[in-house]
Amino acid sequence: MKRWMSPGLTLLLLLASPVLLLGAGDATAGKATYAKKCATCHGKQGEGKAAIAKMLKVKLRHLGSKEVQAKSDADLKKVITAGSGKMKPAKGLTDADVANVVAYLRTLAQK
Protein backbone atom coordinates (compact mmCIF):
# COMPACT_ATOMS: atom_id res chain seq x y z
CA MET A 1 0.00 0.00 0.00
CA LYS A 2 1.32 3.44 -0.90
CA ARG A 3 1.52 5.95 1.87
CA TRP A 4 0.67 9.32 0.41
CA MET A 5 0.15 12.28 2.65
CA SER A 6 -3.50 13.00 3.14
CA PRO A 7 -4.79 15.80 0.89
CA GLY A 8 -5.81 17.77 3.95
CA LEU A 9 -2.33 17.72 5.41
CA THR A 10 -0.75 18.66 2.07
CA LEU A 11 -3.09 21.63 1.79
CA LEU A 12 -2.26 22.69 5.30
CA LEU A 13 1.47 22.59 4.58
CA LEU A 14 1.00 24.56 1.37
CA LEU A 15 -0.97 27.22 3.19
CA ALA A 16 1.49 27.43 6.03
CA SER A 17 4.67 27.50 3.93
CA PRO A 18 4.65 31.19 2.90
CA VAL A 19 4.38 32.17 6.55
CA LEU A 20 7.17 29.80 7.55
CA LEU A 21 9.40 30.80 4.65
CA LEU A 22 9.01 34.54 4.81
CA GLY A 23 8.69 34.87 8.55
CA ALA A 24 5.69 37.13 7.92
CA GLY A 25 3.30 37.89 10.71
CA ASP A 26 0.30 35.74 11.45
CA ALA A 27 -2.80 37.94 11.50
CA THR A 28 -4.83 35.44 13.51
CA ALA A 29 -2.27 35.32 16.29
CA GLY A 30 -1.90 39.08 15.95
CA LYS A 31 -5.60 39.57 16.56
CA ALA A 32 -5.33 37.93 19.98
CA THR A 33 -2.33 40.05 20.90
CA TYR A 34 -4.10 43.15 19.63
CA ALA A 35 -7.15 42.38 21.74
CA LYS A 36 -4.94 42.11 24.83
CA LYS A 37 -2.47 44.93 24.23
CA CYS A 38 -4.06 47.49 21.94
CA ALA A 39 -7.84 47.31 21.94
CA THR A 40 -8.18 49.14 25.27
CA CYS A 41 -7.13 52.33 23.48
CA HIS A 42 -7.60 51.59 19.79
CA GLY A 43 -10.89 49.72 19.98
CA LYS A 44 -11.75 46.26 18.71
CA GLN A 45 -11.60 47.23 15.03
CA GLY A 46 -8.94 49.94 15.31
CA GLU A 47 -11.57 52.68 15.45
CA GLY A 48 -10.07 54.28 18.57
CA LYS A 49 -11.76 54.77 21.93
CA ALA A 50 -13.25 58.26 22.28
CA ALA A 51 -12.74 58.27 26.07
CA ILE A 52 -9.01 57.56 25.67
CA ALA A 53 -8.61 60.19 22.97
CA LYS A 54 -10.31 62.73 25.22
CA MET A 55 -8.25 61.76 28.24
CA LEU A 56 -4.94 61.99 26.35
CA LYS A 57 -6.12 65.01 24.35
CA VAL A 58 -5.23 63.42 21.04
CA LYS A 59 -7.12 62.41 17.97
CA LEU A 60 -7.01 58.67 17.54
CA ARG A 61 -6.98 57.87 13.88
CA HIS A 62 -8.62 54.67 12.75
CA LEU A 63 -5.81 52.14 12.42
CA GLY A 64 -7.30 51.06 9.09
CA SER A 65 -7.24 54.62 7.72
CA LYS A 66 -5.19 55.52 4.67
CA GLU A 67 -2.78 57.56 6.78
CA VAL A 68 -1.96 54.71 9.12
CA GLN A 69 -1.94 52.05 6.41
CA ALA A 70 0.47 54.20 4.38
CA LYS A 71 3.12 53.50 6.99
CA SER A 72 5.55 50.69 6.24
CA ASP A 73 5.64 47.56 8.35
CA ALA A 74 8.90 48.86 9.82
CA ASP A 75 7.25 52.16 10.78
CA LEU A 76 4.32 50.37 12.41
CA LYS A 77 6.70 48.14 14.33
CA LYS A 78 8.53 51.20 15.52
CA VAL A 79 5.33 52.82 16.79
CA ILE A 80 4.52 49.62 18.69
CA THR A 81 7.96 49.04 20.18
CA ALA A 82 9.18 52.63 20.60
CA GLY A 83 5.92 54.51 20.99
CA SER A 84 4.79 57.62 19.14
CA GLY A 85 3.58 60.91 20.54
CA LYS A 86 1.22 60.12 23.39
CA MET A 87 1.43 56.39 22.82
CA LYS A 88 3.81 54.56 25.09
CA PRO A 89 5.76 51.58 23.77
CA ALA A 90 3.84 48.32 24.12
CA LYS A 91 5.53 46.13 26.69
CA GLY A 92 6.00 42.38 26.86
CA LEU A 93 5.81 41.66 23.15
CA THR A 94 8.28 39.42 21.34
CA ASP A 95 9.44 40.29 17.80
CA ALA A 96 7.03 37.63 16.55
CA ASP A 97 4.15 39.20 18.50
CA VAL A 98 4.92 42.57 16.93
CA ALA A 99 5.07 41.09 13.42
CA ASN A 100 1.76 39.33 14.06
CA VAL A 101 0.10 42.52 15.28
CA VAL A 102 1.31 44.36 12.17
CA ALA A 103 -0.16 41.59 10.02
CA TYR A 104 -3.42 42.03 11.89
CA LEU A 105 -3.35 45.82 11.41
CA ARG A 106 -3.17 45.20 7.65
CA THR A 107 -6.48 43.32 7.85
CA LEU A 108 -8.14 46.46 9.28
CA ALA A 109 -7.43 48.53 6.14
CA GLN A 110 -10.51 50.47 5.05
CA LYS A 111 -11.43 50.22 1.41
In the complex, least distance from residue 23 CB atom to ligand HEC, rounded to whole angstroms: 19
Nearest to 57 by CA among 89, 87, 31, 35: 87
- Angle formed at CA 58 by CA 56 and CA 60, multiple of 5 degrees: 110
Under a CB-based contact definition with an 8 Å cutoff, are residues 57 and 38 in contact? no
**Contacts with ligand HEC: how many residues (CB under 6 A)?**
22
Binding of residue 87 to ligand HEC (CB under 6 A): yes
Binding site for ligand HEC (CB under 6 A): 37-38, 40-42, 52, 56, 58, 60-61, 63, 67-68, 76, 79-80, 84-87, 90, 101
